[in-house]
Chains A and B, each alone.
Chain A
Amino acid sequence: MSPPLLEASRLNRSFPVGGFLSHARRKVLTDVSFSLERGEILALVGESGSGKSTLARLLARLDTPDSGDILLSGENVLAREGRSASLAYRGRVQMVFQDPFASLNPVHTVAYHLERSLVRHGRARGVELTRKVHALLESVGLTPAEQLAKRYPHELSGGQRQRVAVARALAVEPDVIIADEPTSMLDVSTRRGVLQLLKGLTRERGIGILFITHDLASARHLADRVLVLYAGSVVETGRTSDVLQAPRHPYTRLLLSAVPDGADFLRTPLPARVATAPPPPLGCAFAPRCPHADVRCHEALPPFHLPAAEHHVRCHLESSKGVPDDAAVSS
């Protein structure tokens, strides 16, 4: 079996808090592991502060983890390259940012943004450059390409800007695209177009996409697999249909119950308690808010359980259901 396209293994990241001489650090990511296959969309969901964007920055190599490994096609890139990413890594892993109003430089034209990526990675040069820029713009549905290439970012709508950002990522012909909430700043009527564009990329070019979002509904439509992050740890992961239709972790259930969908969504109570204590240092981070939490949850970090094939849940409740891990795997 060939190694996965992109694999993260036990990534940890913490940031210093407090003043000048303080050594205190706040943990943002704890032992996050996952893998992404070619042509697959993995949705990373969680609330703000759960560490989604930190994880995206680690994988885009804008930041370096305290510990843990990033493997690209089985090759440990952090061990080989250290702090700053090689051009080869940049040529294979690209990122689309959340805010298309900020991710394009206001002083440069659309063409400049695309040409730089093409030239820097040797994908085109000379007369070929203009033709390639136009082809890229057409591939993301921006026509007429000749006119749009000459425009400046402020002359484009939000949806058009995000398409330019996608085109820039595509210019280097990457294998992986990290999309950090690519539609949250867009108007609803343009969101679907951008999502469909991303989906098409996985089908046509076999690009693997890590789709970071807080919107479970779009994750359901786009993603093959879902990874739920809570307070910097993975609490549940599995195939989209398993996780979103038969959620196992109480936090996933809470998230799902809060998605505005259906007439009586405001009438159903939230399956959570008001947190009265900070998360226990050793136990499950969700324990103070969990309606089912017991003593175990406050004392020990639950291990991963496998209620179904490829479905991982980090919750003590799963083990008390008496489903042995190996039985679940074999089913």
Chain B
Amino acid sequence: MRETLRRLLRQRKAAVGGTLLLGFLLVALVGPWFVMDPTELMGQPHQPPSSAHWFGTTGQGQDVLAQTVVGARETLAIGFAVGALVTLVGALVGITAGYLGRRVDDALTLTTNIFLVIPGLPLAIVLGAYLPSGPFRMVVVLTFAGWAWNARVFRAEALALRGRDFVAAAVVAGESHARIITRELLPNMASLVASSFIGNTLYAVGAQVGLEFLGLGDVGAVTWGTNLYWAGNDAALLTRSWWIFVPTGICIALVGFSLTLLSSAIDELTNPSLRAPPKAPKAAVMRAVATPAQEAAAPGALLSVRDLCIEYMTQAGPSRVVDQVSLDIAPGEVFGLAGESGSGKSTLGYALLRLLPSSAAITQGSIVFDGTDVTALSPEALRAFRWSRVSMVFQSAMSALNPVLTLGEQFHDTLAAHGGASRASSYARGRELLAMVGLKPELVNAWPHQLSGGMRQRVGIALALALEPRLVVMDEPTTALDVVVQKELLQRVLELKERLGFAVLFITHDLPLLLALSDRVGILQAGKLVEVDTAQRLRTDARHPYTRLLLSSFPHLGATDTQAPTPDVLEQAASALKPPLAALPGGRR
């Protein structure tokens, strides 16, 4: 909590907004003691600013400065009171509905929706007629008209949180409903509560000023809204007495501005994706030295990676995720890359297509594919290179496929981007590719959501093969699949590889799978390639202790081994080497 506050203060938006709002609060609190009586007729009417009346006088002769300062008090008091009440009522109704569900939800949601369709202004006018005049009436009217929208926001949040495992875990632990709502759900909504409160206050100030300006408030009170009401009544515009309404107007605008800044600061704080991404680390001066490394590429290799370093910029400074990795892949070879989460295996795979996020950069080394230095490609050359020479199959087929396009359209997108194929020819090629991966050609007209996970991944492979690339990077393509589906898919990949002759870089944490699938396997630990060998040799005599640890971590089905527990020292050594991943966006777990 303290950390959150500190970060909030460090933000410029929050600092400006907060200072401004604090200033107004201070004025509202102590200002009235330092100015004249705002209701007394202190001087001549319609007097421009002078030394006696700094902001001039109103159409009746009251001091405008006094009215502005004193008006701040009630305006802000009502604003914050309504902001708090609307948030409270909305949150209680919304969370109760979202968490309890069923009938309670039906009843509360119906009520909320009825309130939402009643227009706020007429409701406020009708209500105002029945309540005694005064600040209390304004609070009730505005709360009544404003809570429903909040209830919907909180209900949606509660629905999302209710499905989370920690709520189920609290139920299993025997916690009561009330305690789950107040201690498990609400603290997780702290940022929503804060930003709703700020937003509601903004709404309340605006609506209150509007109502009062129309004369629907207590015209005898001194608030910013009534100031404007009297300014209108006294024909301030006609007499060009700008000083009567400009100070109040500026105050309202500034309060609105400060509240908007604060709420946007809270949003940014709690949603890191809204923040400006950290700049990628600069490439080291080593770039010039990269040329001799190219010559070291093994003859006949399709892909040669030399001394590759990739760094992410984090809040704690640059973090090296791939550390001096060198590897070669021969044409038609299956190269397996194994490693645990945070080992940099996916980052390495993405780097081969230069698909790194903006906060990451290749700081050193070279990637030479079939004589082309991938790290030096221009944007246009890169666009032509991707997919036609090296393509990729992603872990989550559902997020890799576009849910609003049929499969045929997605084939067309890919094919048209590389050489302007006609729609008819793209569909024909799509049918052919689908048949190739073992799906019915008619599925070319299907939508992604109509397919099972295994079928989607087959489509992912078909798309990756659309331009007949020479290397396909497969990033955990079967991790989300059942073992039976996984085996079917991999057998199909190997069969296609024999027929079409492409090479595969297969990335996974599943070492037994990799050993069965690959010709050669590289073991990545904390960004370093600790061992590369043929699958056969790794199986029997792995040399690096980390490889042996990984191998022993998978229980075998056939052997009658009841292996000794893994040495804890080794385990700790392994985890100690991991890079600080918590700060990385999108780090896999």
Contacts and interface: CB of A to CB of B under 8 A. Distances in A.
A146 interface: no
Contacts of B487: 257-258, 260, 265-266, 270
Nearest to B546: A189
A47 B484 CA distance: 8
A157 B575 contact: yes
A120 B175 contact: yes
Interface string B488-527: 1011001000000000000001111101110000000000
Interface stretch (B324-332, B468-476, B558-566): B558-566
B375 interface: no
B173 interface: yes
B341 A187 contact: yes
Contacts of A97: 165, 168-169
A272 B509 CA distance: 27
A294 to B, nearest CB: 22
A42 B553 CA distance: 21
A45 to B, nearest CB: 10
A266 B169 contact: no
A244 B511 CA distance: 22
Nearest to B482: A47
Interface string B170-184: 111111000000011
A185 B589 contact: yes
A297 B90 CA distance: 57
B539 interface: yes
A90 B589 contact: no
Contacts of A277: none
A10 interface: no
A259 interface: yes
A48 B482 contact: yes
A76 interface: no
A266 B493 CA distance: 11
Interface stretch (A31-39, A191-199, A202-210): A191-199
B574 interface: yes
B174 A91 contact: yes
Contacts of B549: 189
B566 A189 contact: yes
B555 A221 contact: yes
Contact of B510 (A91, A260, A266): A260
A51 interface: no
A262 B558 contact: yes
Contacts of B172: 60-62, 90, 94-95
Contacts of B453: 48
Contacts of B190: 107
Contacts of A257: 487
B582 interface: yes
Nearest to A103: B165
Contact of A189 (B168, B184, B340, B510): B340
A258 B165 contact: no
A304 interface: no
A262 to B, nearest CB: 7
A178 to B, nearest CB: 9
A259 B557 contact: yes
B244 to A, nearest CB: 50
B103 interface: no
B167 to A, nearest CB: 8
B4 to A, nearest CB: 11
B557 A154 contact: no
Contact of A193 (B175, B488, B512, B571): B571
Interface string A138-182: 000000000000000010011000000100100010000000000
Q: Which of A98, A158, A193, A262 has the most CB of B within 10 A?
A: A262
A81 interface: no
Contact of B557 (A116, A193, A214, A217): A217
Contacts of B515: 263
A224 B589 CA distance: 31
B189 to A, nearest CB: 10
B461 to A, nearest CB: 16
Contacts of B589: 101, 158, 185
Contacts of B164: 102
B48 to A, nearest CB: 56
A123 to B, nearest CB: 11
A95 B169 contact: yes
A121 interface: yes
B576 to A, nearest CB: 11
A87 B174 contact: yes
A98 B168 CA distance: 12
Contacts of B183: 108
Interface string A266-281: 1001101000000000
A214 B531 CA distance: 30
A90 B485 CA distance: 37
B536 interface: yes
A126 to B, nearest CB: 20
Given A87-B174, A105-B166, A260 B516 contact: yes
Given A97-B168, A103-B165, A193-B571, A217 B556 contact: yes
A99 interface: yes
B484 A188 contact: no
A221 B566 contact: no
Contacts of B341: 158, 187
A261 B556 contact: yes
B557 A263 contact: no
B193 to A, nearest CB: 13
A192 B552 CA distance: 9
B483 A214 contact: yes
Nearest to A93: B172
Given A99-B165, A244-B557, A258 B483 contact: yes
Given A117-B174, A265-B516, 10 more contacts: A103-B165, A108-B183, A116-B173, A188-B554, A217-B556, A258-B486, A261-B557, A264-B516, A266-B517, A272-B484
Interface of B: 164-166, 168-175, 183-184, 187-188, 190, 340-341, 453, 482-488, 490-491, 494, 509-513, 515-517, 535-536, 539, 549-550, 552-558, 562, 565-566, 568, 571, 574-575, 582, 589
**Nearest 6 pairs between A and B by C-beta?**
A90-B174, A260-B513, A103-B165, A102-B165, A258-B483, A47-B482
16 contacts: A90-B173, A94-B172, A103-B168, A107-B187, A116-B170, A172-B173, A189-B550, A192-B553, A193-B565, A217-B556, A258-B484, A260-B512, A263-B515, A263-B539, A266-B487, A270-B487
